Structure 1
Amino acid sequence: MAKPSSLDTLIELAQENADEAGKQLQLLSTERKNAEDQLKMLLEYRQDYAARLQAATESGLSASNYHNFRQFIATLDEAISQQNKVVAHIDVKMESGRQRWYAEKRRLSSFETLRTRHARQQAVRDNRAEQLASDEMSAIMHRRVRRNH
């Protein structure tokens, strides 16, 4: 079995780093979807509560109940604002994660290109050595044939 080269080790490490960056990006994507779902739920809840307030206002509502409705809606608005910030923060982390993943993939690709280039150069050297050996063998055979005649 061939001894692994340092380039093979670098490729293995780069692959591990790219895989890890991909996993982190996937986790962030799941986290973002959950945050989006929560934001959607808050928006729906706010819309429902605003509709309840509208219906209660039309049927008559005491000032204290009106105040409670408005205060609860303001609390929902604050929760929605905070959730929007959470989603935006995750978006920033995702972009950073995406950039890291791209960088790791480029690094891996560079190492693989180097390995391919090295293998190609080694094949050229091997072919030359084989050709030299063949030429030398032909020369020896030619000399033997000439001596025998």
Structure 2
Amino acid sequence: MTNDFPIKTLIDLAQDDVDAAARQLGRVQRERADVEAQLEALIRYRDEYHASFSTAAQSGMPAGNWRNFQAFIDTLDGAIEQQRRLLAAATSRVEAAKPEWQRQKRKLGSYEVLAARGEAAEARVAARREQREADEHAAKMLRMERRDQLN
């Protein structure tokens, strides 16, 4: 395109926006995955602790140990619930980042379509010009042939 600088600039800026939105989406997806892994680790730890305590409790256990166990399980359950809230917030951030990335992609696509249309229009103009020049050249050659035949 001979006059592609403005659209090229818009495409470059839109690509930068897409890249930034993609980085943001990737960052919040990684954060969500980290929070989810921590939640799964807490649940696994609570289940393992509960299983080992249940095994130990079968052979008899003082009431103090039982209270300590229950208090620790309550603490773990609180941490798990807090981690679930963090996971919900992280999921919300991911869901909020997706539409922004999609919007930026659509904007870039629109600019690319405009650029392609502009290039196609210029190609049609160039093809018409070349055809006109070829027709003019053929007409000139025909006139020259006729003139040479008359002389």
> Secondary structure of 1:14's match?
helix
Q: CA deviation at 1:86?
A: 1.1
Alignment of 1:92-131 (within 5 A): 92-131=92-131
Alignment of 1:32-111 (within 5 A): 32-111=32-111
Q: Identical aligned pairs, as a percentage?
A: 39
> Secondary structure of 1:59's match?
coil
Give the distance between the partners of 1:12 and 1:140, measured in 2 at CA: 46
Give the distance between the partners of 1:4 and 1:124, measured in 2 at CA: 16
Give the distance between the partners of 1:140 and 1:3, measured in 2 at CA: 33
Contact kept? 2:25, 2:97, Cα under 8 Å: yes
Count of matched residue pairs: 148
**Which consecutive residues of structure 2, in runs of 5 or more, have no partner in the other structure?**
none
Contact kept? 1:24, 1:97, Cα under 8 Å: yes
Give the distance between the partners of 1:55 and 1:68, measured in 2 at CA: 16
Alignment of 1:16-31 (within 5 A): 16-31=16-31
Give the distance between the partners of 1:56 and 1:62, measured in 2 at CA: 11
Contact kept? 2:4, 2:115, Cα under 8 Å: no
Let me know the Cα RMSD of the aligned residues: 1.9
Q: CA deviation at 1:117?
A: 0.8
What's the TM-score, normalizing by structure 2? 0.86
Contact kept? 1:32, 1:87, Cα under 8 Å: yes
Give the distance between the partners of 2:70 and 2:137, measured in 1 at CA: 99
Query: Partner residue of 2:13?
Result: 13
**Which consecutive residues of structure 1, in runs of 5 or more, have no partner in the other structure?**
none
Per-residue CA deviation, residues 26-52 of structure 1 (Å, 9 max, x unaligned), is 222221221111111100111122223
What's the TM-score, normalizing by structure 1? 0.87
> Secondary structure of 1:129's match?
helix
Contact kept? 1:53, 1:66, Cα under 8 Å: no
